[in-house]
Structure 1
Amino acid sequence: MSAATLDRSWSRTAPGRPTRLGRAGALGRRAWPALILTLPIALLVAALGFGVAAWRTALTNRAIAALQDGRDVAVAPAADGALLLARTQFLTLRGRTEEAEAVIEALERRGDPDRVARARYALANARLRGAFGHLERNDLDPAGPLVTLARQDYRRALQAKPDFWDAKFNLDVASRLIRDFPDFDRKSGDELKAEPKKIWTDIPGQPRGAP
């Protein structure tokens, strides 16, 4: 190696001239204090986020438990899907179908097909129970619309969850009622002469009721 080449090589690494490694080390030393200050803040923010999420989950679980115990709890349309379903089941078991419809609409906007299917199934059961109640009292005129609405809700449940066997079964029950009482589809208001008590022997099952 010539003296000129050695001199040029030495000049690139001579003391006093910072190398790339040296510059990176200097930057790291300057950034370290800022990192020490920022890291605890980031950890605190993350802990607060987890804490808020856990608090909301606890509130949701308590509200669901209260509804399942039969206590009426108001639920906002933006509530968790599980809570909206619990509210729907609470209302339908008590025949409050109009209120349940509003809750189901909020649930449908969340795009949760499984819970929508279960909510529609609960609503359909409530309507079919109401229809059977009218039939057992020989009060046939109000039964027809309830059976028709129940069929619609069972179909909507199956649209959301095609393999929902319970909804298929109860849809068949409602459809048999329509076949046994064709005047349900008419608007003439003629009195039906079929014996209501025969329904229970002609239909292979009853609506299960519980969602």
Structure 2
Amino acid sequence: MMLRAQLRTLVLAAPPVLLGLAAVAATAWGLHLAADNRTIRALKANRDVAVTADAPPAVLLARVEFLIRLDRLTEAQPLVEALDGHGAVPIRDDAHYNLANAYLRRGLDLITQGKIDAAGPFVVLARQEYRNSLTLVPEDWDAKFNLDVASRLIRDFPAFERTVGDAATADRKRLWTDIPGTPRGGP
């Protein structure tokens, strides 16, 4: 009889104890999420908040977007690579796509300034990042279109694929595009 009474007490006491432990765990998890959300809000408000490479994927993506807005692409690249290690596919895709767009924008800006030699490495980096994005989400039409634009720029300047860095030279006579139906030569 005594064993039965002790077992009954244990069975009746277990649910409240387990619920209390679950409440403590949920509170700790909620505080952790609140801290992550504060960091994301600060980054979106253009406040520089340090983020480590082992931060949660959403925080890393917010930091990458912050760095891209400030045109600090060399700082964003390692965080995108860190996301590849543990981020969800949509977050990783967004990071690669946004970084590719930033590289392509920088390359196009340099082309419009007449700095064709300096634009090549950025266009090559944009192509690599668009391919990384398409590896994650093959049906992403925007990434396909932008990859096509970047690929046409490289085809316009073929010397960039054969040489490395800023020492690349473009043949000024081959600056006309290879778009079908477009005549070769001057405009």
Partner of 1:124: 100
Cα distance in 2 between the residues matched to 1:86 and 1:106: 13
Residue 4 of structure 2 aligns to a residue whose secondary structure is helix
How many residue pairs get matched? Answer: 175
* SS at structure 2 position matched to 1:78: coil
Which of the numbers 60, 66, 76 marks the counterpart of 2:52?
A: 76
Cα 1:189–1:85, aligned 2, differ >3 Å: closer, same or farther? closer
Q: CA deviation at 1:182?
A: 2.1
Q: Is the Cα–Cα contact under 8 Å of residues 57 and 87 in structure 2 kept in the other structure?
A: no
Percent of matched pairs sharing the same residue? 41
Question: Which of 90, 94, 102 in structure 1 is aligned with 2:78?
Answer: 102
- Residue segments in structure 1 that go unaligned for 5+ positions in a row: 1-22, 203-211
> Which residue of structure 2 lines up, in the alignment, with residue 170 of structure 1?
146
TM-score, normalised by the number of residues in structure 1: 0.74
**Counterpart of 2:28?**
52
Q: Which residue of 2 aligns with 1:17?
A: none
User: Which is higher, the Rg of structure 1 or of structure 2?
Assistant: 1
What is the RMSD computed on CA atoms of the aligned residues?
2.4
Q: Is the 8 A contact 2:156 2:174 kept in 1?
A: no
The structure-2 alpha-carbon separation of the partners of 1:119 and 1:140, relative to structure 1 and needing over 3 Å to count, comes to: same
The whole-number CA distance in structure 2 between the counterparts of 1:28 and 1:105 is 59
* 1:40 shift after superposition: 3.5
For the residue of structure 2 that corresponds to 1:142, the secondary structure is helix
Change (3 A) 1:168 1:191: closer
Name the counterpart of 2:183.
Answer: none
Q: Report which stretch shifted further, 122-131 or 72-81.
A: 72-81
Structure 2 counterpart SS, 1:141: helix
TM-score by length of 2: 0.82
Aligned-partner residue type, residue 68 of structure 1: K
Measured against aligned partners, the alpha-carbon deviations of 1:107-139 in whole angstroms (never above 9, x if no partner) come to 111152221111011111111111111111111
Structure-2 separation of matches of 1:191 and 1:148: 14
Match of 1:114 in 2: 90
Query: Match of 2:48, SS?
Result: coil
Aligned to 2:63: 87
Could you list the runs of 5+ residues in structure 2 that have no partner in the other structure?
180-187
Deviation of the 1:43 alpha carbon: 2.2
| Per-residue deviation, 1:185 | 2.1
Aligned to 2:172: 193
